[in-house]
Every structure is written in C-alpha cells, then in structure tokens.
Amino acid sequence: MTANTIENLDLIRLADGSMSKEVATNTNRLNVLYEDINQLKRLADGLVLEKIKESDMTIKECSLHARGRYINLAVDTELLSIMARKTKTFENLLETSTVFLHHRKDEVYTTLFVREYSKPENNVEWKEWFLYLTYRDPWYLHISRAIEQLVLSKIFESAPEEAIIETIDFCFKKGSLSFKTMAFVLSKANLPLKTWETIRDKSTKKKLEEVKRIAEEKINKYQT
C-alpha cells in the first residue's frame, strides 16, 4: 500500500465519521489529512465561484446565497458585483447594504460596496440614491464616511436643482458627519451656475456659511 493510498483512505474514513488511532497520533498523517481537507475546500470554493459566474442570478438569489453559512471573500465579491450591476431601485440598494454592510460587518465589504457602486456601468438614478439617503434612520450611512460620500456624489451628479437644495437641507438638519461630508462632496461637484446661485441665496442660516462660501467660490470661477 502506497503512502498516497493511506492518505486517501484517511480522508475517506474521516468522511464516514471515523478516524483510526494511528492517524490521530501520527503528526505527519494528520498534517497530510488536513492539507487534503484544505485542498478540497479550495477546489470547492473555485467551483462555486465558477458556477456563480456562469449563472444569471437575481438580486434575491444573490442575497439568499450571501446570507447562508458559506462565506468566501471571492464569492462574496462576485455576488456583490452582480447585485450592484442589477441594482435599479432603492430597495435593491437596501438589500445589498443589509447583506454586506450589516451581516458581514467587515471594513473590506464597505470598500467593495463603494467600489462596485462607483463604477459608471452600475448606474442607479439619483432619485434612488436620495431615497437611500433619507430612508428612516439610514444606519448604513453611519458605517463609513466613504459610503456617505458615494451617496451624496451620486445625487449631486445628476439631480435637478430642487433635489440638490433638499439634500443640503436634509444634511443640515441631520447634522454631525453628514453635513461635513456633504460640504466636502459639494465642493467637488460640477453644477450649473444657476444652481450655485440658488445654493448661495438659500444659505442664509449661520451654520450654512460653509455651503455659502463654497457656492460663492464656484460662482467666482464661472465669472473669471
């Protein structure tokens, strides 16, 4: 009987729920056995990822898969990518957030979330981002400033003037980090002159001085 045969038998017996005393007390055979187990896991992970890429999974199917006990970063990355690519509504955004920002609770998923939804091809209408921003108590915005920046930048990219004013007002009323983040994102925004003038004229409250300053700087650039 060869060493390879012994190793295979050890794995087969383990799958049947048994382990011999010789294996349990032999360090070398245990090392080989656990390496075989890890190799099988790597093989399974690769096959799962391959089959997911070949499948046309829905957002709901991706969500159910990610909520299971099976967790693998490469697979999660693919599932999140599919969900972002198929996102059309605020509810889709919320579903993706719940799975990867709430259940996973790992900074790497925050980075993946921002990366996937920042891609130009994953185009979600500003209205959906606005609903995402203003939904009840948006717990997901408290996770990371990067998520706040993503949401606000998506609104400022294409929202009409009245929605931009409403977004500024919402962040002003909410206070804390959101307002600071909003001012930062607003300073990077490329808005029409008329919108900047409206923002300046409506920023009459003391705490909106920073917003007014940003608007005035943008207006001056138009005039030079």
Determine which of 66-70, 126-130, 152-156, 209-213 has the lowest per-residue pLDDT on average: 66-70
Percentage of the chain exceeding pLDDT 90 = 58
Most confident of 25-34, 161-170, 215-224: 161-170
Q: What is the pLDDT of residue 38?
A: 85
Percentage of the chain exceeding pLDDT 70 = 93
What would the pLDDT profile of 123-176 be if each residue is shown by its tens digit? 899 999 999 999 877 777 777 889 999 999 999 999 999 999 999 999 888 766
Q: What is the pLDDT of residue 8?
A: 74
Name the band, by pLDDT with cuts 50, 70 and 90, for residue 3.
low
Q: What is the pLDDT of residue 1?
A: 43
Q: For residues 92 and 72, what is the distance between their CA atoms, to the nearest angstrom?
A: 22
Is this model's pTM higher than 0.85 or not? no
What would the pLDDT profile of 184-205 be if each residue is shown by its tens digit? 999 999 999 999 999 999 998 8
Name the band, by pLDDT with cuts 50, 70 and 90, for residue 50.
very high
Name the band, by pLDDT with cuts 50, 70 and 90, for residue 5.
low
Name the band, by pLDDT with cuts 50, 70 and 90, for residue 85.
very high
Indicate if the pLDDT at residue 14 is higher than 80: no
Mean pLDDT of the chain: 87
Q: What is the pLDDT of residue 6?
A: 52
Indicate if the pLDDT at residue 23 is higher than 80: no
Name the band, by pLDDT with cuts 50, 70 and 90, for residue 21.
confident
